[in-house]
Amino acid sequence: MSNFRIHLALLATAALLAADNGYNLFQRGLAKERADADPRAAIRIYQQVLQDKSTDRKLAAQALLRMAECHQKLGDAEARKIYERVVRDYSDQKEPVQQARIRLMALQPKPNEHAIVNRRVWTLPDRGDIFGTASPDGRYVPYVDWAKFGDLYLHDLVAGTDRQLTTGATDGKPGIGKSEEQYAEEYAFSRDGKRLAYSWFRGDIDRYELRVLLLPSNDVPAFRTLLSNEDISWIGPHDWSPDAKWIAVQLHRKDKSAQIGLVSTEDGKLRVLKSIDWRGASGLFFSTDGKYLAYDLPAGESEQQRDIYAIAVDGSREFPLVVHPSHDSLLGWSPDGTQLLFASDRSGSMGLWSQSVADGRAQGSPELIKPGIGEFVNMGISSVGALHYVVQTSLLGGDIQTATFDFSKCAFVSPPVQAVSSYVGTNNLPDWSPDGKYLAYSSRRRSVGSSYFIVGIREMESGTVREIVPMPNFQHFLALSWSRDGKSLLIGGRDAKGRNGVFRMNAQTGQTSMIVEKKGAARIAMESPDGRSLYYLGMAPDGDRAAYYRRDLASGEETILLRMPNPAYGSLSPDGRYLAVNNAVVPREPRGVLLVPTSGGETREVIHVDAPQRAFFFAWTPDGRSLLAQKHLDNQAVEMWKVPLDGSESTKLELKTAADVRNPLKVHPDGRQVVLQVPVPRKPEQIWALENFLTASK
């Protein structure tokens, strides 16, 4: 018997003489497993460890890890379940969790040469966002954590660990003004995986910078600002050249032009390759020899068609690679550089396709590799040919419902029912037409590499829906309401040309025209009852982050009615005399409701609560004499109130469907029907890896 086995046997004997607490039982299990080579007996002892009251979480995680290894030695499938349990239930025990993750990776089935494997590799934190590619070896995933105000983090898919890459993010932080905001966005790895380029917004200069950091450091790495240009409002890195001398970027200039270019990693100088549509490319990828840069672009201003091209890095020549009347979105190059991989809906549903390329030119016709891949966010092709991508479980929007509401009793006469049954979870901003015959709403549609908006108009009597694509389309769609003549709709947001403000869309043709251009997108837009004035919520000209404006539509003259530290929901009274606005002293946590005279005059607070309570206004009564509001109490309870504007006593409402009125109600002209948007809870996004598809396709 070896000295090691003798030593373990002595430990086991000593454990038998001692009291059978959790730690002694664990030593007995080790002895059975290693000295006696009896994994079944060891499993039974490790189960006793888990049942023992003296066992803490650290020991329990270790016992589960040993138990799983015993099952693995026996060749049964229980090992995987136990490793998954350690990862799921013992996240506070870093070392056992890391070991469990490594062993789960080793247990992944080895694909045969003809099988495509598609597996989930990670679920992002609740408020994590992906803005770029995974590392070239597929092991690391950067992400922006908005729960931590927009700093950049790096997740290790093998070890299951996270590390912070940036400091100083402040987006959405209480008490932080626009001029103090900072946060990370787009990023791209160098080919060796040792450097990361990323864009960083600085509110003090109101623009983005291009920064680079080194990853091997265990601490938060120091960064180097590679490019900061007062003429460039936004810049996003996409890929590094194979020799690491250039970073391919897209950028927006303050004159609303957009370009594709290369930034030198030595001196930060920008070389522009091409001017492009403001909507830009969904991806830029260097060929493996570094001679060409592939990209996709929209085919026209109002079309959803995208085509793929390659341009020589010296800008001397450009070739079409994939041109087809469909949506073609670039995914990257195969590791050997012979194939360009892209997503396309040309077969009726989104599929994975390849195009053979030699010296920057297409060879032959595209070939379908895998049909029915669905919609996703591309994270690039790894050095071993795996496609990493994000499955978005929810988009900004929700479900639109209608109901009958008795405002005299402040109660639902009928329960809310679904008003829009298509693209559920992506619909929002409902509004009645002035004659009550139509219901308009916006809906976000997603294709691989891009998204766009439609305006749906439902005829209430027949239930038929007409969908209109705004021309040009919108990058951000934040407000939608009918004009008073019922012939057009008002849109607040940013259009495909990069212009922020309020737009008018023809309800028949979809053609849009700009009413007012602002620095930031308008979040609320509505006309006065006589159609002469426009009221909207936009960025304040200086100081505060938001302001409510009144604009005379004939003269263009504007008046600021209310300045606010944070944007907040507001609505015009039925007679147009007042704006009711949530008093958003803290973002998303208003402490009361303000009443703002539209003709000018003193603003007064009609509802007030103290922290940590919150109060939200969500509807006017049809007669314009009262507000309906909710109070979130510090014990998590929610109360509904009817608040008269004449100062008489408020009435607490006994609404049984409180969840249905946590968003603004839009009242039908008949004063009884209401439409509301029910939010779809955001679920953490999932990262998947599609593997072996290049080998299988051969």
At 140-160, the pLDDT tens digits run 999 999 999 999 999 998 888
Q: Give the pLDDT confidence score for residue 543 in this predicted structure.
A: 57
259-279 average pLDDT score? 95
Based on the domain organization, do 257 and 149 belong to the same domain? yes
Q: Is 7 helix (H, G, I), strand (E, B) or coil?
A: helix
CA distance 698 to 695: 5
Q: Give the pLDDT confidence score for residue 397 in this predicted structure.
A: 63
Based on the domain organization, do 362 and 443 belong to the same domain? no
CA distance 546 to 592: 17
Based on the domain organization, do 280 and 140 belong to the same domain? yes
Is 76 domain-assigned?
Answer: yes
pLDDT-derived band at 20 (thresholds 50, 70, 90) equals: low
Can you state the angle between helices 57-74 and 78-89, rounded to 10 degrees? 160
Q: Is 290 helix (H, G, I), strand (E, B) or coil?
A: coil
Is 391 domain-assigned?
Answer: no
Is 384 domain-assigned?
Answer: no
Based on the domain organization, do 492 and 611 belong to the same domain? yes
Based on the domain organization, do 11 and 62 belong to the same domain? yes
Is 437 domain-assigned?
Answer: yes
At 622-663, the pLDDT tens digits run 999 999 888 888 767 778 888 999 888 888 877 654 444 556
Is 689 domain-assigned?
Answer: no
Domain holding 471, by residue range, is 398-552+563-679
In the block, residue with structure tokens 């495909």: 496
Q: Give the pLDDT confidence score for residue 10 in this predicted structure.
A: 42
pTM of the model: 0.78
Is 693 domain-assigned?
Answer: no
Based on the domain organization, do 593 and 637 belong to the same domain? yes
The Cα-based distances of 353 to 341, 386, 431 in angstroms read 6, 14, 41
Length in residues, the chain: 698
Based on the domain organization, do 307 and 350 belong to the same domain? yes
Is 527 domain-assigned?
Answer: yes
At 405-436, the pLDDT tens digits run 888 887 888 888 889 888 888 888 999 999 99
At 578-595, the pLDDT tens digits run 999 998 776 667 788 999
Based on the domain organization, do 150 and 193 belong to the same domain? yes
Q: Where residue 97 sits, what CATH number does that domain have?
A: 1.25.40
CA distance 194 to 172: 31
How many distinct structural domains can be found in the chain? 3
Q: Where residue 585 sits, what CATH number does that domain have?
A: 2.120.10.30
Element (H, E) at 80: helix 78-89
Q: In this structure, are residues 543 and 498 in contact, taking their beta carbons and an 8 Å threshold?
A: no
Q: In this structure, are residues 445 and 437 in contact, taking their beta carbons and an 8 Å threshold?
A: no
Q: Give the pLDDT confidence score for residue 684 in this predicted structure.
A: 81
- Read off the amino acid at residue 26: F
- Read off the amino acid at residue 427: N
